[in-house]
Amino acid sequence: MLQIGPYMLPNRVALAPMAGVTDLPFRRLCAQMGAGLVVAEMISSNASLRDSRKTLLRSRHDDEIQPRLVQIAGSDPAAMAAAAVYNVAQGAQIIDINMGCPAKKVCRRAAGSALLADESLVADILNAVVQAVDVPVTLKIRTGSSPGARNGVSIAGIAQDAGIAALAVHGRTRACAFRGAAEYDTIAAIVAATTIPVFANGDIDSPASAARVIAQTNAAGVMIGRAAQGRPWLCGQIAAHLATGVTPPEPTLEEQLAIMQSHVTALHEFYGDFMGLRIARKHVSWYLQHSTDYLPRRRAFNSLESAAAQLHYLRQMTGEHLQQNYPQKEIAA
């Protein structure tokens, strides 16, 4: 099994932190469906933002799977250490440091994956955070700044020396963003050069691809990002496959509709009707992205202007499906 500090994880599959995606309702859902570790959305180390609505929502962990893992981002060692201390006091059981985000607005502040170009600063940040808190500290990185400057192995060595408890590595550089295919040779080299657990990340979208990446890299686990959008059951499928070699079937359409309705209800409750219905739009779009009537369904759902109307629409979808497949039943939409 995979262990981070004192925490023994139930399996080898983690849900990646994704800003605007891995909020508390989605983390709860993925954990319920088999993710072994879920990571909260990135929180800025800027102390002036701690009371903002966005940060307060991202900092909630009620009824969440343990260990509660909070990711922080920034470029000042003292501010990052202070952010770690603050979030531990708020209930974080593991602190994750973001050095993997390629977003321009993050990198412009010399944070995220922009830090990989400055190994001295990386060391200062990691040492400051590890020494500031008594909980495990983990790190998420990319393979380097650009294809010509893949220094992931060097960064991993700095991380291990600083006392980082686990490492997640996305198989692209900062310059690559999400373009092209992820490469796993650098991840394999990082695994070979370190003794801490390493999660391989990037382009893992099925149990079979997860098994291939594990075989190629010898990573301790995998971290699933964009492929889990609209598929909260994917982490659980992958975990079962890695443990047994058998892949559980996809939820039936009826089950997927029930999951979607439950998820949208949780979003309304978490964010309130106004913000919740807007966030529900992107999640429902991901759920429906492979359906034959995706575009008309998406347009219809996105035109709805109340939480009640969204839930009514999803109930109607369920009713239509059941009438088509079980025409003898009377379905109340």
**pLDDT for residue 333 is more than 60:** no
The predicted structure's pLDDT at residue 100: 79
Average pLDDT value over all residues in the chain: 91
Taking the C-alpha atoms of residue 72 and residue 138, their distance in angstroms, rounded to an integer, is 10
**pLDDT for residue 128 is more than 90:** yes
Residue predicted with more confidence, 326 or 331 = 326
DSSP per residue, 275-325: HHHHHHHHHHHHHHTTSTTHHHHHHHHHT--SHHHHHHHHHHHHHHHHHHH
Judging by DSSP bridges, how do beta strands 94-99 and 3-4 pair with one another? unpaired
CA distances from 328 to 255, 319, 333 (A): 19, 12, 15
**What is the chain's percent helix, strand, coil content, to nearest 5?**
50, 15, 40
In percent, how much of the chain has pLDDT > 90? 73
Instruction: Show the beta-strand stretches assigned E in 193-288.
Output: 198-201, 221-224
Taking the C-alpha atoms of residue 203 and residue 176, their distance in angstroms, rounded to an integer, is 13
**pLDDT for residue 310 is more than 90:** yes
Q: Which of 101, 107, 176, 235 is labelled catalytic?
A: 101
The predicted structure's pLDDT at residue 65: 80
CB atoms within 10 A of CB 255: 12
Coil, helix or strand at residue 253? helix
Contact (CB, 8 A) for 200 and 171: yes
Residues composing the chain: 333
Each residue of 187-246: pLDDT tens digit? 999 999 999 999 999 999 999 999 999 999 999 999 999 999 999 999 999 999 999 999
Q: What's the pLDDT band for 315 if we cut at 50, 70, 90?
A: very high
Q: What's the pLDDT band for 178 if we cut at 50, 70, 90?
A: confident
The predicted structure's pLDDT at residue 326: 56
Active site (annotated) includes residue 101: yes
Q: What's the pLDDT band for 57 if we cut at 50, 70, 90?
A: confident
Coil, helix or strand at residue 228? helix
**pLDDT for residue 119 is more than 60:** yes
Cis ω on the peptide bond leading into residue 102 (within 30° of 0)? no
Taking the C-alpha atoms of residue 223 and residue 204, their distance in angstroms, rounded to an integer, is 8
Q: Which of 69-83, 147-161, 170-184, 219-233 has the lowest mean pLDDT?
A: 170-184
The mean pLDDT value for 42-66 works out to 82
Contact (CB, 8 A) for 194 and 168: no
Contact (CB, 8 A) for 40 and 248: no
Taking the C-alpha atoms of residue 126 and residue 145, their distance in angstroms, rounded to an integer, is 18
Q: Which helix (H) or strand (E) holds 189?
A: helix 185-193
Closest CA to 68 of 136, 160, 167, 11: 136
The predicted structure's pLDDT at residue 173: 86
List Cβ neighbours of 313 (8 Å cut-off, separation of 6 or more).
300, 301, 304
Q: What is the DSSP letter of 113?
A: G
**Assigned token pair, 23:** 């909020």
Contact (CB, 8 A) for 144 and 171: no
Each residue of 278-305: pLDDT tens digit? 999 999 999 999 888 899 999 999 999 9
User: Measured at the alpha carbon of residue 38, what is the angle toward residues 167 and 49, in degrees to the nearest 5?
Assistant: 90
Each residue of 60-114: pLDDT tens digit? 877 778 899 999 999 999 999 999 999 999 999 999 999 977 765 665 555 677 8
Coil, helix or strand at residue 143? coil
In percent, how much of the chain has pLDDT > 70? 93
The predicted structure's pLDDT at residue 331: 44
- Tell me the pTM: 0.91
Q: 38 in the Ramachandran plot: left (φ > 0), alpha (ψ -120 to 50) or beta?
A: beta
